[in-house]
Chains A and B, each alone.
Chain A
Amino acid sequence: MTEKKSASLKREDRLRALREYAGEDRVISSHDIALKLQETPESLIRVKSEIPSLDAAIEDFRDGEVVAISGPTKNGKTLLAQTLTANFVKQQYFPLWFSYEVPVRQFLDQFPEIPLIYLPQRLKAHAMDWFEERVWESFAKYRTRIVFVDHLHYLVDLARVKNPSIEIGSVIRELKTLAVDGGFLVFLLCHTTKGAFEENLSFESIRDSSFISQESDSVLMIKRTPEDGQDTARLRVEFHRRTGVWERVVNLKKVDGLLQEYKGKSLKPLSVMK
């Protein structure tokens, strides 16, 4: 009985203290939140891909989003990311790049003109803390809000983990938290599973983890289309959480070193990218 009374008193004290709680994370009403949101801009950055059909599908890329870019090897993932980079720079948004896969010299040479972007002088693979620190460093020095990671598997040490899927899921969640907390827009390049080349390509073909598509705000799949001509590819917006767009196809062609939209010769069923 005494114990019960003591527990009840403790709870009363706790509730009394909580009634006065005024921390940053205190619980407030939806109306208060709505008023607070009115004081802050809807988004810190809104940037276009300058690929018209893609822009129509996603209504600009915005901060707080994680966008996965996937597709088979040598099918234009990096080129698409570089095209986006060049187009963002035109709009005066200067991205931070983690080019793990392509050596920096080759990476810069692939641009028709070197754009103003930022890169760590040295890269450290499989080091999420180091990665976050560089993202914040670049933000502090140059106010960069757009981050490209080429590619995801350099952030996760698959050799050391028992369950790659869960580990990748945890990294994606960390990236999402980073994007939301810091107001960053993160582009994450990731491979597809082996053999996906021959099969129908979709976000389900992304290698190692379904968490990638689950936690991303959008998944863009790219695949070359030699049947439509040299240097052509098909980009598919698998989904976009904010706009609700699903399976939108954009035909792309490499012109002067970067990708541009073009009207494709043949429009195959949108759900099939063989």
Chain B
Amino acid sequence: MVIPSLLAEFYRERIEDNLALMEYLARDIGEMNRIREGAGRDWGIEELTRAIIFEEGQTIELLRKEVENDRKEISKLKKGRPSESPA
């Protein structure tokens, strides 16, 4: 049996981590764009940066959804309806 306050703490920590990671990835996408701009017509770099941006964009979206879910879980815990285990 997981204590609800510990669960809430877990979700809060994960939200914090995810938000920090989202910001890091957004800036990294910016960095990839800077590299892409500087590469001129180097298609190798163009393709590589595009692939990285795509992956990072997808990850940001997944992290946002996880943050949304975690917020819902915290809200449930506050109302006294804890989930069995962290999603």
Contacts and interface: CB of A to CB of B under 8 A. Distances in A.
Binding partners A and B:
yes
B53 interface: yes
A45 B38 CA distance: 11
Interface in B5-35: 26-27, 29-31, 33-34
Nearest to A94: B29
Interface in A138-178: 141-144
B26 A92 contact: no
B57 interface: yes
B50 A114 contact: no
A96 B16 CA distance: 24
B60 A143 contact: no
Contact of A116 (B26, B27, B34, B50): B26
B30 A141 contact: yes
A233 B51 CA distance: 35
B31 A143 contact: yes
Interface of A is mostly: loop
Interface in B49-75: 50, 53-54, 57, 60-61, 64
Interface string A193-236: 00000000000000000000000000000000000000000000
A124 to B, nearest CB: 22
A144 B29 CA distance: 10
Nearest to B53: A92
Given A92-B53, A92-B54, A116-B57, A143 B40 contact: no
A92 to B, nearest CB: 5
Nearest to B36: A92
A103 interface: no
Interface of A: 41, 44-45, 92, 94, 114, 116, 118, 141-144
